[in-house]
Amino acid sequence: MMEPVIMALIDFYEDEVEFIIADFSISETGRFLEMEEFQFSYIPMFYFIDSEGIIISGEAGVFSFEQMQELILPILQ
């Protein structure tokens, strides 16, 4: 469900943002990693990490492209 949004964000931000994706299955695009050994409280879950490696925030839920941009933009500033 989130894969089209994430793929669009990857294309939009290109080299500006690095996306690391953990999922329960490998997608057709091959960009999603199989992570069955981890336990999650909510799916999907997004962690936003700055260039220093510090977790800025964590958000659970399904988001549109625009909503994800609202979460990403403050980190880039």
First to last CA, the chain: 28
Cis, peptide link before residue 44, omega less than 30° from 0: yes
Residues 5-54 pLDDT 10s: 999 999 999 889 988 877 665 555 555 544 554 455 567 888 888 888 88
The arithmetic mean of pLDDT across residues 48-67, rounded, is 88
Position 3 pLDDT exceeds 80: yes
**Domain boundaries of the chain, sorted by first residue:** 3-65
